[in-house]
């Protein structure tokens, strides 16, 4: 069964966005994954098709109404056991480990917030898993959902040309990746490190590992405390 994403949004025209191009787009054409959108506004019942209301307790902005959003979620998740995610800056920061777990499943249902966010009762009542893509505030959940899906789709079986390359990326080994070089041999007076053109594969692997460890120590020492999601071979 191929991976299926259902996106609940007020802006369905933002999808599939960049995921319609390049490797993800080709994989979609081949049927390796699919995306459908649900327009939250279709689940309003008043004649003005109201999706938001002022925040209880006062304050700026508007809040997505729980009744409307819950109807959209119930419609999308009928007879469906895919995880229900809410893109949210208050969520658990997204990691490659969570991306891999989600990619191993049947798919995802993703709610995109707007305005100040969504009514807390629908988060609790529909058991939404809040996912953050970083410590900054976007204007809506749509670009966050596209980023989450990008990370998932690229590791689905058969999507990337060379399946092995996915295992050597930053984070997969618990380390940042080593630097890359390609021809020309000398560019603006800068040379490719000699070891990489030595043909000695064991020495190259050792050098790359050392570079990765050094970079990680310098830039992201926090990663060294975490267990790797997948060991380098």
> Where is the binding site for S-adenosyl-L-methionine, in residues?
113, 133-138
User: Which positions make up the binding site?
Assistant: 113, 133-138
**Per CB under 6 A, 141 contacts ligand SAH:** yes
**Residue nearest to ligand SAH as judged by C-beta position:** 113
Parallel/antiparallel/unpaired status of strands 63-64 and 190-191: unpaired
Handedness of CA 207, 208, 210, 211 (dihedral sign): positive
Q: 45-84: which residues touch ligand SAH (CB under 6 A)? A: none
| Residue nearer to ligand SAH on the CB measure, 121 or 206 | 121
**Per CB under 6 A, 20 contacts ligand SAH:** no
| Residue 41 beta carbon to ligand SAH: minimum distance, rounded to whole angstroms | 16
Which residue's structure tokens are 């267990």? 227
**Per CB under 6 A, 93 contacts ligand SAH:** no
**Per CB under 6 A, 107 contacts ligand SAH:** no
Determine contact, residues 107/82, Cβ cutoff 8 Å. Answer: yes
Determine contact, residues 27/156, Cβ cutoff 8 Å. Answer: yes
Per-residue burial over 127-156, b = 16 or more CB atoms within 10 Å of its CB, e = otherwise: ebbbbebeeeeeebbbbbbbbbbebbbbbb
| Residue 159 beta carbon to ligand SAH: minimum distance, rounded to whole angstroms | 23
Site for ligand SAH, rule CB under 6 A: 87-90, 112-114, 116-117, 132-134, 136-138, 140-141, 144
């Amino acid at each position: 069964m191929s991976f299926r994403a259902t996106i609940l949004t007020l802006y369905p025209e933002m999808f599939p966005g960049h995921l319609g191009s390049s490797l993800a787009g080709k994989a979609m054409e081949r049927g390796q994954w699919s995306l459908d959108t649900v327009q939250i506004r279709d689940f309003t019942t008043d004649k003005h098709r109201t999706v938001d209301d002022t925040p209880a307790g006062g304050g700026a902005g508007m809040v997505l109404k729980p009744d409307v959003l819950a109807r959209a979620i119930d419609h999308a998740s009928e007879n469906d056991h895919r995880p229900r995610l809410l893109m949210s800056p208050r969520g658990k920061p997204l990691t490659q480990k969570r991306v891999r777990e989600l990619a191993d499943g049947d798919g995802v249902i993703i709610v995109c917030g707007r305005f100040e966010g969504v009514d807390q009762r629908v988060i609790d009542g529909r058991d939404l898993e809040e996912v953050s893509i970083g410590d900054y505030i976007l204007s809506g959940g749509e670009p966050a959902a596209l980023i989450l899906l990008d990370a998932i789709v690229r590791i689905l079986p058969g999507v990337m040309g060379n399946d092995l390359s996915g295992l050597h990326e930053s984070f997969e080994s618990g380390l940042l990746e080593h630097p890359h070089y390609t021809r020309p041999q000398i560019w603006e007076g800068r040379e490719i490190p000699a070891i990489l053109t030595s043909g000695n594969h064991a020495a190259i692997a050792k050098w790359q590992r050392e570079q990765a460890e050094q970079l990680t120590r310098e830039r992201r020492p926090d990663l060294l405390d975490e267990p790797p999601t997948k060991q380098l071979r």
